[in-house]
Amino acid sequence: MTSIVEEHTVSADGTRIGWERIGQGAPLVVLHGGGLAGKHYRGLGAALADRFSVLLVDRRGRGLSGPAQPSDGIGKEIEDLAAVMKATGANQVFGNSAGAMIALEAARVLPIRRLGLFEPPVSLTTMLPLDWLPAFERALARGQRARAWAIQMKGAQMAPRGMPAWFLRLGCWLMMKQPAGAEMGALLGTVPRDLSMALSLGTDLSHFRDVRCPALLLGGSKSPPFLHEMLGLLKGALPDVRLVVVPGAGHAGPTDMDSPLPVAAQLRTFFDPNGAISSDAPRATGTGG
């Protein structure tokens, strides 16, 4: 079994940022998507552990990290990533969904050498109607997590087409009776802030011309059409990018809820361990896990 070590550092505003380290080799930062935490990418980490030291970061407001304030925008998330990179010597980053959006924006200002992205939600207002968001937030405020989850899945086009709303709510309720589903239900409160960050970036993708490092842009063949449209827009905006659609994967492709192995195979060939940092690079505070 691949060993897991818990580590942490402190961001610019004093917030603790923690992560799980899996494997040995060149450090590779993994930023999770909305409604998730670093632990949901352990399968991906294990698949890469023979060649990389995979850092499954808990973004602020989750797990091993300190709390997030409603006003904490993408600038704070970039500061958090900068702190992780400084503490570990990492210069390679992979992000999924909201984590990919943060990694993409960070690559404009941080010394990221190679950048992996799985379906970042860019230009969101032109791609996805958000009229479901008030109902989602009302359900959360009332403690109706199964209803909120169902609203999010349907609104984000992640639910099977034509599935009745009551049946989707029932499925979410049953999932939340299991430990993994209960954990994800508890993380639903992080979704509005991630959506707010996505909306704050607007619709102009031209500033991503500032991303000069090589980028691997990944998508899932089973993901909603609007995400494929986003990938096409990003492919045209990034100066050095390769687009790959992973067969059989959905938007959760890199996570343990889907099939992370095909995604890991793409990442293995993209992130070159020959460019690893020297052995005297700094190490973050760690405890055995």
* Residue pair 206/234 in contact by the 8 Å Cβ criterion: no
Query: How far apart, in whole angstroms, are the C-alpha atoms of residue 108 and residue 171?
Result: 40
Strand order, beta sheet including 26-31: 241-246, 215-220, 114-118, 92-96, 26-31, 52-57, 16-22, 4-10, 285-288
Q: How confident is the model at residue 167 (pLDDT cuts 50, 70, 90)?
A: confident
Mean pLDDT in residue range 130-147: 90
Question: In the prediction, which pLDDT does 273 show?
Answer: 54
Q: Are 267 and 48 in contact (CB under 8 A)?
A: yes
Within 10 angstroms of residue 204's Cβ, the number of other Cβ atoms is 10
Most confident of 33-37, 197-201, 271-275: 33-37
- Other Cβ atoms less than 10 A from the Cβ of 276: the count is 17
Beta bridge partners of residue 54, listed in sequence order: 22, 28
Q: What integer pLDDT is reported at residue 94 of this predicted model? A: 98
User: What pLDDT does 288 receive?
Assistant: 44
Numbers of helices and strands, H then E, in the chain: 11, 9
Q: What is the pTM of this model?
A: 0.89
Provide the pLDDT for residue 176. 85
Identify the pLDDT of residue 166.
80
Please choose, from the candidates 235, 268, 191, the residue with its C-alpha nearest in 3D space to the C-alpha of residue 32: 191
Residue 201, pLDDT > 70, answer yes
Q: What value does the mean pLDDT take over residues 9-20?
A: 98
Strand partners, 118: 96, 218
**Which residue type does 122 have?**
V
Highest-confidence range of 38-42, 123-127, 163-167, by mean pLDDT? 38-42
Pairing of strands 92-96, 16-22: unpaired
Nearest to 101 by CA among 158, 39, 33, 45: 33
| Alpha-carbon gap, residue 84 to 182, rounded angstroms | 28
Asked whether 113 and 175 are in contact (CB, 8 A), the reply is no
Cα(8)–Cα(58) distance, integer angstroms: 10
Which fold would CATH assign to domain 4-122+205-288? Rossmann fold (3.40.50)
Percentage of the chain lying above the pLDDT 90 cut: 65
Cα four-point dihedral sign 66, 67, 71, 74: positive
CA 89 to chain centre: 20
pLDDT, one tens digit per residue, over 218-269 is: 999 999 998 999 999 999 999 999 999 999 999 999 999 888 999 999 999 9
State the span(s) of the chain assigned CATH 3.40.50.1820: 4-122+205-288
Question: CA 140 to CA 210: how far, in whole Å?
Answer: 38
* Spatial distance between the Cα atoms of 119 and 101, rounded to a whole number of angstroms: 8
Q: Who wins on pLDDT, 152 or 8?
A: 8
What whole-number distance in Å separates Cα of residue 122 and Cα of residue 100? 10
